[in-house]
Amino acid sequence: MSSAPFVRIAELPAHAGQQVVIRGWVTHVRSSGKIAFAVIRDGTGTCQTVFVKTQLPTEVWERFSQLTTETSVAIEGEARAEPRAPGGFEIGVTSLAIIGPSPIDYPIQPKEHGIDFLLDNRHFWLRSPRQRAIAVIRSEIEQAIHDFFYERGFLRVDTPILTAAIGERSGLFATEYFDEGNAYLAQTGQLYGEAAAAAFGKIYTFGPTFRAEKSKTRRHLTEFWMIEPEVAWNDSAANMVLQEDFVAYLVQRVLERRAPELAELERDVTKLQAVKVPFVRLDYAEAVAIVQRKGSATVWGDDLGAEDEALIVADYDRPVFVMNYPKEAKAFYMKENPDDPRTVLCNDCLAPEGYGEIIGGSQREDDYDKLLARITAEGLPLDAYNWYLDLRRYGTFTHAGFGLGLERTVAWICGLQHIREVIAFPRMMHRLRP
Ligand code: 4AD
Ligand code: MG
């Protein structure tokens, strides 16, 4: 290689007509005796490289024949605009160095593979264009989340992963913690978020959460990422306005900035363009009436299952809030509804197209006695919740917040069937490797 500058494929347009070096992996090769092509992928894009036998030293031409799928290479040549090539550029090769050969038994071949095989080879599967598109959209959404809250003056607060037993109802992962007994991997950052809201006003957390749920559905992971804003002085109505602004912002951001990746995934973007505020608002009782009319056996008092959620959203082109569930169906920390004390001031946000719950949110119980009664009634260990009750003892305050599941949101925006593809290395009941 000469002293030509090393350039990422996405930056080639700025180097038209210049001699450059690109580095990457071979996705495929073809040759017709006198002219040969290797398509190179570097994570920022793909680029066709052109080898012309009569214009190359013999050893460079011969080296081409060693290129197999996923061989890593450095290639030097002239960057040329070529409208017919993917990405619009190609390299007229002058030099080729093989960095790392790749045996011909590379596991992922251009044919149909079963999902278990692909997940076993997740470390390679990530190299496919489709997986790259998903990763790019996920990253765009993560950045948009930070931007949304930053623009609105929220403070990001990082809450602990190792906790004493507090959180949601579903299963806990335990690990020994010195002389303190068991520590549990956090199921939510919310309770710490509430303490932070009293200190800082408007906060959000963005962290991994863990649930030892034995669910093998297309929307459950044992490790997933959750974004949990908590806002002092917001009530349940203000909480929903924040949610719809937030979700609409994320969708709009992906539409504006990630059209090529949505196209790679063959996403029907008209479905995303319909996601506008205000979202639909249904009382829990109305939602139950809708699903019953459509044949569901759900009765007042039940939580709504995935099938019920699909029945509800089928009538709408935008997300739906189901509000004010019965107490028994929801967590202890939700505020009793003064208009109907059998229910709590909460909402789930259901994504369109059958994706179901992407957000759970509520106004929090700020009455000390009522909260204590709920904690006791649920048989929760009081000593673990004393500090949480303190927030109601010393300067209690109206507050509300919610948790958005990142993987479910990304799966919906990408239009994927299962959330396992949305995270680089998914953790599920039967999967801990790679
Ligand atoms: O409804 P959840 O359980 O609510 C909470 O954890 C509250 N503490 C949030 C809050 O008010 N701060 O979970 C919130 C969201 C769900 O709507 C869903 O999107 C996602 O987290 N979620 C999961 N995602 C993937 N796999 C799982 N096992 C999930 N469980 C919940
Ligand atoms: Mg929920």
> Across the beta sheet with 174-176, what order do the strands follow?
162-163, 182-185, 174-176
How far does the centroid of ligand 1 lie from the alpha carbon of residue 168, in Å? Answer: 9
Q: Is the pTM of this model over 0.75?
A: yes
Q: Which residue has the tokens 């002085």?
A: 233
How far does the centroid of ligand 1 lie from the alpha carbon of residue 375, in Å? Answer: 20
Q: Is the pLDDT of residue 165 over 80?
A: no
Q: Which residue has the tokens 């180097």?
A: 15
Q: Which of 191, 192, 224, 335 to mutate for ligand 1's pocket (most ligand atoms within 8 Å of CB)?
A: 224
Write down the number of H helices and E strands in the chain: 13, 16
Q: Please give all residues whose beta carbon lies within 6 A of any atom in ligand 1, as ranges.
A: 168, 188, 190, 211, 213, 220-221, 224, 226, 228, 357-362, 401-403, 405, 407-408
How far does the centroid of ligand 1 lie from the alpha carbon of residue 226, in Å? Answer: 7
Q: Is the pLDDT of residue 1 over 90?
A: no
Closest CA to 78 of 121, 20, 119: 20
Q: Which of 408, 422, 429 to mutate for ligand 1's pocket (most ligand atoms within 8 Å of CB)?
A: 408
* Confidence (pLDDT) at 171: 87
How far does the centroid of ligand 1 lie from the alpha carbon of residue 359, in Å? Answer: 7
Q: Whose CA is nearest to atom 18 of ligand 1?
A: 405
How far does the centroid of ligand 1 lie from the alpha carbon of residue 229, in Å? Answer: 13
Q: Which residue has the tokens 């948009």?
A: 144
Q: Alpha-carbon distance 201 to 95, whole Å?
A: 60
* Confidence (pLDDT) at 167: 67
pLDDT digits (tens, 9 = 90+) for 177-225: 999 989 999 999 999 999 999 999 999 999 999 999 888 889 999 999 9
pLDDT digits (tens, 9 = 90+) for 385-402: 999 999 999 999 999 999
- Strand partners for 298: none
How far does the centroid of ligand 2 lie from the alpha carbon of residue 346, in Å? Answer: 10
pLDDT digits (tens, 9 = 90+) for 250-266: 999 999 999 999 999 99
* Percent of all residues in the chain with a pLDDT value above 90, rounded to a whole number: 92
User: Pairing between strand 356-363 and 399-405?
Assistant: antiparallel
Q: Is the pLDDT of residue 2 over 80?
A: no
* Confidence (pLDDT) at 383: 87
Q: Whose CA is nearest to atom 21 of ligand 1?
A: 405
